[in-house]
Amino acid sequence: MILYGDSQSGNCYKIKLLFSLLNIEHQWVHVDILNGDSHTPAFLQKNPTGKIPLLELSDDQYLSESNAILNYLAAGSELYPQDTFQQALIQQWQFFEQYSHEPYIAVARFINKYQGMPDERKAEFYNKQDGGHKALHIMEQQLQTAPFLTGEQMTTADISLYGYTHVADEGGFDLKKYPAIKQWLLKIEEAPDYLAMED
């Protein structure tokens, strides 16, 4: 299988981390989004949204959306338990990630780290801070009650939220105020075959 991605994108790194945790063989094809490489006619034919990550399973089988890719690849492993309520809880956190976390923390990080904080996006960067802290506060509350987001066991929900939370400082979010999140980050980093994001 082929993964089209950029290792420094949190959405793509989620898949890279899962590949490592589950020892899944794959080919990684780098896509330079700042150069428009995800909007070429050839790429748009594979994924009309023009976004990465994109998983290619065969010539006519593609899967986009990082969290859908994670659950597909983890099916049958401990990271995606078979119990349907557990699966729904995982998805609950993944929808939270996409709607209440990523649009604040990942976008603030993009403006700061990828774009170098251009003047025309500074106001947007600062406007993202409240929403990002709200999401972190919700995670902190949950992680004070259990070691992982859905309970005692690490699942793809944790990988989904780990992607951008562990680099939240690059979006201006200081994690010192969130001790349970910091503990949770360390637990994930202790997993066998954990792979760090490239600098």
For ligand GSH, the binding residues (CB under 6 A) are 9, 11, 33, 38, 50-53, 65-67, 98
Residue 24 structure tokens: 């899944």
What number of other Cβ atoms are within 10 A of residue 66's Cβ? 30
Please state, in angstroms and rounded to a whole number, the distance separating the CA atoms of residues 106 and 80: 24
- State the nearest-atom distance from the C-beta of 144 to ligand GSH, in Å: 27
On whether the CB atoms of residues 62 and 72 are closer than 8 A, the answer is: no
Give the 3-state secondary structure of residue 146. Answer: coil
Query: In Å, how far are 30, 47, 103, 140 from 73, measured between CA atoms?
Result: 20, 18, 24, 27
- State the nearest-atom distance from the C-beta of 50 to ligand GSH, in Å: 5
- State the nearest-atom distance from the C-beta of 167 to ligand GSH, in Å: 12
Q: Which is nearer to ligand GSH, 29 or 183 (CB)?
A: 29
- State the nearest-atom distance from the C-beta of 182 to ligand GSH, in Å: 24
Q: Which is nearer to ligand GSH, 169 or 177 (CB)?
A: 169
- Residue 62, φ and ψ in degrees, nearest 5: -125, 150
Q: Which is nearer to ligand GSH, 66 or 71 (CB)?
A: 66
Q: Which is nearer to ligand GSH, 169 or 179 (CB)?
A: 169
